[in-house]
């Protein structure tokens, strides 16, 4: 996730673009850059680090001009260093891009064979080369961008500026957001509304498959096939703060709703449907190593540990490799048996959690192969690992992890499927069926999110509870743990997650009519056994909230039922966690707690 902006107007644009990028910084903040046409040629400034570093550079080396583009980056391809910062320039073309170009490897090879020299490790730079080549063939900038888009596969919102034309910027969008603002003698486009609000409230949201040319006088929008688009601007009434949260009351709620997109971005370019396989060059685990490794050890803390439990389960059941999941904070202190033949998977949103970093270092020193599953490019855990499988969830601002959790589930699922294929435990046919279902999961998440109002009503009904239980079996037991963690950390309601079968060994003593018991009852291999556990709860008057695929399942058992779409058993947690996150959010919101920054907690825990 990155933020892009483009400005065509009458004022000096560098400060305007910089301020717009500041409004987009929530989308990424590891490097930034800006290109301005000074009337003669393109001038570019780029800097690694926070936006303030670019601001300092511009103060020392100002840019003058009234047309420009800018970018704030959340690295996906290539480290967050200056040469990977956008804009990327080729010949007379500068490009900023948000998204992932899936077929960038093959395009880059082709362009290199044609003699093109690349100066970054990004997927974006190929766009600059392709547009440059097309303009050299005599196409206008608009047509050159159109011709380029025909070659791209993946997600993009791009803004393109040409050195030979200071009057326009060309934009295009597919699966990444882009909005065009229309002011008085000024047009400004950006990834999100907050970047425009100081200039205009009249905006046009571009749709997938559209490209636009903006000049001072207006916008010309067409579909890729040349069909003109005449969409009048709409007026937005959000305050600046509302706009930064996409109109949501809290970042956590926004991030919950971003999950289908985060999942799509994490799967993009890695799921190879035609080959019933996964692209795994990032893993640092060669096919030979995948075949011969003896054990997989997952290390993580908090929510990431719950994702690790999911990884452990799938690596065993799908790839048939012995696997364990360990709390990183405990791992080092028991002189663990770990070393050669072990693949140690360090799971972390931030990539900076001190316990996870220290545990992974310990395992590395003892000879294990380390794979980082992290969200932040170039973070400490990614740097110390032999390979990194990045989740592409974009920056997560709310302290409670939501979209990074589901992106981790997806990444670990892909790892399990990859190992299963290499080890022969998973046939191509079964892998094909699973991958086809996996790419459908974001839509099922969207359906689950559409039920938010119903979940809010349930939250209102249970918001005064002092305690709550979350129960699940099999893969759903990790979801139960995560549901309980979400509730306690943001609403301060005491909550416990349990494997359903454990209830009769103690926790059942807690159940009475005041106890909400959230039961995960998807149609999977554990359903019958889970239903017996729910009967035990009902017999003690427990207030059952059932998460089901089929409503009949919970008849006569549940006070409240939440229906979510069915998916393959292996992917069920990706869908069932959604109502649990919403439930926690609404309980906390109705109780009036500080949802995004709950008391006593920090987003990144860099102390042991």
Q: Which residues in this chain contact ligand M6R in the complex, by CB under 6 A?
A: 301-304, 348-350, 353, 356, 399-401, 485, 489, 604-605
Query: Is position 294 annotated as part of the catalytic site?
Result: no
CB 191, min distance to ligand M6R, A: 24
Nearer CB in complex with ligand M6R: 191/356: 356
CB 320, min distance to ligand M6R, A: 28
Sole residue written with tokens 């949501």: 248
Quick check: bond before 87 cis, omega within 30?
yes
Residues ≥6 apart with Cβ < 8 Å to 424: none
559, 543 in Cβ contact below 8 A?
yes
Q: Measured between alpha carbons, how far is 582 from 562 in angstroms, rounded to an integer?
A: 11
CB 484, min distance to ligand M6R, A: 11
The first and second tokens of residue 406, run together, are 């589901």
CB 329, min distance to ligand M6R, A: 10
Nearer CB in complex with ligand M6R: 303/576: 303
- Which of 561, 560, 581 lies closest to 461, judged by CA? 560
Cβ-closest residue to ligand M6R? 302
CB 129, min distance to ligand M6R, A: 36
Nearer CB in complex with ligand M6R: 1/206: 1
Q: Measured between alpha carbons, how far is 558 from 569 in angstroms, rounded to an integer?
A: 22
DSSP category for residue 554 = G
Annotated catalytic residue within 50, 79, 361, 603:
603
CB 495, min distance to ligand M6R, A: 13
Edge-first strand order for the sheet with 323-327 is: 323-327, 295-300, 342-348, 369-374, 387-390
499, 458 in Cβ contact below 8 A?
no
Nearer CB in complex with ligand M6R: 512/594: 594
Q: Measured between alpha carbons, how far is 131 from 169 in angstroms, rounded to an integer?
A: 13
Helix (H) / strand (E) containing 111: helix 104-113
350, 401 in Cβ contact below 8 A?
no
Residues ≥6 apart with Cβ < 8 Å to 260: 442, 443, 445, 446, 449
Nearer CB in complex with ligand M6R: 174/379: 379
CB 588, min distance to ligand M6R, A: 12
CB 428, min distance to ligand M6R, A: 33
CB 486, min distance to ligand M6R, A: 7
Nearer CB in complex with ligand M6R: 329/477: 329
Q: Measured between alpha carbons, how far is 562 from 520 in angstroms, rounded to an integer?
A: 10
Nearer CB in complex with ligand M6R: 155/381: 381
Nearer CB in complex with ligand M6R: 33/579: 579
Length of the chain: 608
Q: Cβ of 198: how many Cβ atoms within 10 Å?
A: 15
Nearer CB in complex with ligand M6R: 440/601: 601
CB 400, min distance to ligand M6R, A: 4
Helix (H) / strand (E) containing 93: strand 93-101
Residues ≥6 apart with Cβ < 8 Å to 258: 393, 394, 403
- Three-state SS sequence of 560-589: EEEECCCCCHHHHHHHHHHHHHHHHHHHHH
154, 127 in Cβ contact below 8 A?
no
Helix (H) / strand (E) containing 54: helix 51-60
Rounded to a whole number, what is the distance in angstroms from the first to the last CA of the chain? 30
Annotated catalytic residue within 2, 301, 404, 519:
2
- Three-state SS sequence of 272-298: EHHHCEECCHHHCCCHHHHHHCCEEEE
| 271-272 and 277-278 beta bridge pairing | antiparallel
Q: Measured between alpha carbons, how far is 396 from 498 in angstroms, rounded to an integer?
A: 27
Query: Is position 168 annotated as part of the catalytic site?
Result: no
Nearer CB in complex with ligand M6R: 382/562: 382
Active site residues: 2, 603
């Amino acid at each position: 996730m990155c933020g892009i902006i483009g400005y065509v107007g009458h004022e000096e644009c560098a400060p305007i673009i910089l301020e717009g990028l500041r409004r987009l910084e929530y989308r990424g903040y590891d490097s930034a850059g800006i290109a301005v046409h000074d009337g003669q040629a393109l001038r570019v400034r780029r800097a690694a680090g926070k936006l303030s570093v670019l601001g300092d550079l511009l103060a020392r080396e100002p840019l003058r001009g009234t047309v420009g583009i800018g970018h704030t980056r959340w690295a996906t391809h290539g480290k967050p260093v200056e040469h990977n910062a956008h804009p990327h320039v080729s010949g007379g073309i500068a490009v900023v891009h948000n998204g992932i170009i899936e077929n960038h490897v093959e395009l880059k090879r082709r362009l290199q064979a044609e003699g093109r020299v690349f100066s970054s490790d990004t997927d974006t730079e190929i766009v600059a080369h392709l547009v440059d080549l097309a303009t050299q063939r005599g196409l206008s900038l608009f047509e050159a961008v159109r011709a380029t888009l025909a070659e791209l596969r993946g997600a993009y919102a791009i803004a393109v500026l040409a050195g030979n034309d200071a009057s326009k910027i060309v934009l295009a969008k597919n699966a990444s957001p882009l909005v065009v603002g229309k002011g008085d003698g000024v047009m400004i486009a950006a990834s999100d509304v907050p970047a425009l609000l100081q200039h205009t409230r009249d905006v046009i949201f571009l749709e997938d498959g559209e490209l636009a040319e903006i000049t001072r006088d207006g916008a010309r929008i067409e579909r890729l096939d040349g069909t003109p688009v005449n969409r009048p601007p709409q007026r937005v009434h959000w305050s600046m703060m509302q706009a930064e949260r996409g109109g949501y009351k809290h970042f956590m709620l926004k991030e919950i709703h971003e999950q289908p997109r985060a999942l799509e971005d994490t799967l993009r370019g890695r799921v190879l449907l035609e080959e019933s396989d996964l692209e795994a060059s990032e893993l640092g685990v060669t096919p030979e190593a995948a075949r011969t490794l003896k054990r997989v050890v997952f290390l993580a803390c908090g929510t990431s540990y719950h994702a690790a439990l999911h990884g452990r389960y799938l690596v065993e059941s799908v790839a048939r490799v012995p696997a364990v999941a360990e709390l990183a904070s405990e791992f080092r202190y028991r002189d663990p048996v770990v070393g050669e033949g072990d693949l140690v998977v360090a799971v972390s949103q931030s990539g900076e959690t001190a316990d996870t970093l220290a545990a992974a270092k310990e395992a590395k020193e003892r000879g294990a192969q380390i794979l980082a599953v992290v969200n932040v490019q170039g973070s400490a855990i990614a740097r110390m690992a032999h390979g990194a499988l990045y989740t592409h969830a974009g920056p997560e601002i709310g302290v409670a992890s939501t979209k990074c959790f589901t992106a981790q589930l997806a990444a670990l699922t892909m790892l399990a499927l990859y190992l299963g294929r290499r080890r022969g435990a998973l046939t191509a046919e079964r892998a094909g069926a699973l991958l086809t279902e996996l790419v459908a999961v974001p839509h099922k998440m969207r359906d689950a999110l559409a039920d938010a109002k119903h979940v809010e009503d349930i939250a209102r009904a249970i918001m005064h509870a002092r305690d709550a239980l979350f129960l699940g079996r099999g893969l759903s037991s990790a979801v139960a743990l995560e549901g309980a963690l979400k509730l306690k950390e943001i609403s301060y309601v005491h909550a416990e997650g349990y494997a359903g079968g454990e209830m009769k060994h103690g926790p059942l003593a807690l159940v009475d009519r005041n106890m909400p018991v959230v039961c995960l009852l998807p149609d999977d291999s554990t359903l019958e056994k889970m239903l017996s556990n729910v009967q035990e709860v009902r017999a003690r008057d427990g207030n059952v909230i059932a998460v089901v695929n089929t409503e009949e399942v919970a008849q006569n058992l549940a006070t409240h039922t939440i229906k979510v779409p069915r998916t393959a058993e292996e992917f069920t947690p990706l869908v069932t966690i959604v109502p649990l996150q919403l439930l926690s959010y609404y309980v906390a919101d109705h109780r009036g707690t500080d949802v995004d920054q709950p008391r006593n907690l920090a987003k990144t825990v860099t102390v042991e």
